[in-house]
């Protein structure tokens, strides 16, 4: 088992714990295998344009607790369909994948560690099929990746959202208001559901269960009659009304990424509630605060375990795989089994039953 030189990139939206992974990969490769470590900057852009940074135990020594990624990242850089605006403001799409392959060969890497979510790992799988040895490392606050119990970054996001709810409770209770907290998660309701439960939300709306406004209004009125004139609503950015569509921002950046940016359902819902109940309603959009800052202890340990396991997998030449948490173990899952799957909250998930059992309304008739 040997390794000479390995590469690592972080792709897609950042999250807390990425630096823990970079540190673990670097230290394991150097300490256990005497290998060199090359960081590719800004996701696959680093591979396309040959932008690198040599990683050492010295320049990764203080990054365990640091949010973000010292390598930089982008969620625009798909080498197979690289999108740019031209001078006329039109989107131009080019295939730069052979340029990326050339860089990989020129750097004489034994393996590329690709740290990313669904989209980034799908790209990793395609490169693997083209002959580039890759090992994937799952990352996303959304926790929507198939094959792993948890992605690192998720727990930190849940903690941040839970802290926000704790604060909204005190101000909401003082003013007798309906307080709405909109959180990220794209098409998966994991953050909203788990943070909503942890933070004692009275109503939790997730993309997997389209909401009916009548049930939300009934729950708020029920609380009002019971002497609690304030309510806390946790809403996932991807939540939608029955028969309705997700609220998107329609931004130029979204068009460039080829992925619509979600956001705004918290304000939409506030207007809907105001039209039905004479209570003051306020919306807080937590946004990227969920992605930044210090990772929780859980995410630091998970990131470290995944980083070490990825280097060991590369030394055993187990390429085309992703390291994953199958509690209590770290296992290898073929990248081919994950492609294109978004792991949303199953409708019969125990978290859903738990929430409804304790009286949390999920925007539907209580079962």
Tell me the closest approach of the beta carbon of residue 160 to ligand F6P, in angstroms: 12
HSE-up of residue 204 (Cα within 13 Å, Cβ side) = 28
Return the beta strands (E) in the chain as ranges. Answer: 5-10, 36-40, 52-55, 82-85, 91-94, 111-116, 134-138, 178-183, 203-205, 231-236, 281-285, 321-326, 329-334
Residue 142 is among the residues annotated as catalytic for this protein: yes
Catalytic residue among 14, 45, 110, 142: 142
Secondary structure (H, E, C), 183-226: ECCCCCCHHHHHHHHHCCCCEEECCCCCECHHHHHHHHHHHHHC
Least Å distance, CB 261 to ligand F6P, is 5
Q: Count CB-CB contacts under 10 A for residue 354.
A: 12
3-state DSSP helix/strand/coil percent for the chain, to nearest 5?
Answer: 40, 20, 40
In sequence order, what are the beta bridge partners of 284? 181
Q: At its nearest, how many Å lie between ligand F6P and the CB of residue 223? A: 29
In whole angstroms, how close is the CB of 262 to ligand F6P at the nearest point?
5
Output the residue with the shortest Cβ distance to ligand F6P. 184
Q: Are strands 321-326 and 329-334 parallel, antiparallel or unpaired?
A: antiparallel
CB of 133 or CB of 258, closer to ligand F6P:
258
- Which one, 60 or 159, has the nearer CB to ligand F6P? 159
Q: What is the number of alpha carbons within 13 Å of residue 366 lying toward its C-beta?
A: 13
- Comparing CB distances to ligand F6P, the nearer of 20 and 220 is 20
Which chain residues interact with ligand F6P by CB under 6 A?
13, 75, 117, 140-142, 184-186, 237, 261-262, 291
The distance of closest approach from Cβ of residue 365 to ligand F6P in the complex, given in angstroms and rounded to an integer, is 28
Name which of 43 and 117 has its Cβ closer to ligand F6P: 117
Greatest CA separation for the chain: 70
Looking at beta carbons only, is 27 or 186 nearer to ligand F6P?
A: 186
Annotated active-site positions, please? Answer: 142
């Amino acid at each position: 088992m040997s390794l000479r030189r390995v590469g690592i990139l972080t792709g897609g939206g950042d999250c807390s714990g990425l630096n823990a992974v970079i540190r673990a990969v670097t230290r394991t490769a150097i300490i256990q295998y005497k290998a060199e470590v090359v960081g590719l900057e800004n996701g696959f852009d680093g591979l396309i344009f040959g932008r690198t940074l040599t990683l050492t135990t010295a320049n990764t020594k203080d990054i365990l607790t640091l949010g973000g990624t010292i390598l930089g990242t982008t969620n625009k850089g798909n080498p197979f369909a690289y999108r740019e605006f031209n001078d006329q403001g039109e989107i131009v799409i080019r295939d730069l994948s052979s340029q990326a392959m050339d860089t990989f060969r020129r750097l004489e890497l034994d393996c590329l560690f690709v740290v990313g979510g669904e989209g980034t790992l799908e790209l990793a799988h395609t490169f693997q099929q083209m002959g580039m040895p890759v090992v994937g490392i799952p990352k996303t606050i959304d926790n929507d990746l198939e094959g792993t119990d948890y992605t690192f970054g998720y727990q930190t996001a849940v903690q941040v959202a839970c802290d926000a709810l704790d604060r909204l409770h005190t101000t909401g209770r003082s003013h007798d208001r309906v307080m709405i907290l909109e959180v990220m998660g794209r098409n998966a309701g994991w953050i909203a559901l788990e943070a909503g439960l942890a933070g004692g939300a009275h109503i939790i709306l997730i993309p997997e269960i389209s909401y009916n406004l009548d049930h939300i209004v009934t729950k708020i009125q029920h609380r009002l009659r019971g002497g609690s004139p304030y309510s806390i609503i946790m809403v996932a950015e991807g939540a939608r009304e029955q028969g309705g569509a997700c609220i998107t921002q329609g931004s130029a950046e979204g068009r460039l990424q080829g992925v619509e940016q979600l956001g705004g359902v918290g304000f939409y819902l506030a207007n809907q509630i105001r039209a039905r109940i004479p209570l003051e309603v306020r919306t807080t959009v937590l946004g990227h605060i969920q992605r930044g800052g210090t990772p929780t202890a859980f995410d630091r340990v998970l990131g470290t375990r995944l980083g070490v396991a990825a280097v060991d997998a590369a030394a055993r030449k187990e390429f085309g795989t992703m390291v994953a948490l199958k509690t209590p173990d770290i296992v290898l899952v073929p990248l081919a089994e994950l492609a294109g799957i978004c792991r949303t909250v199953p409708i019969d998930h125990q978290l859903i039953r738990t929430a409804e059992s304790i009286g949390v309304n999920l925007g539907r008739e209580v079962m």
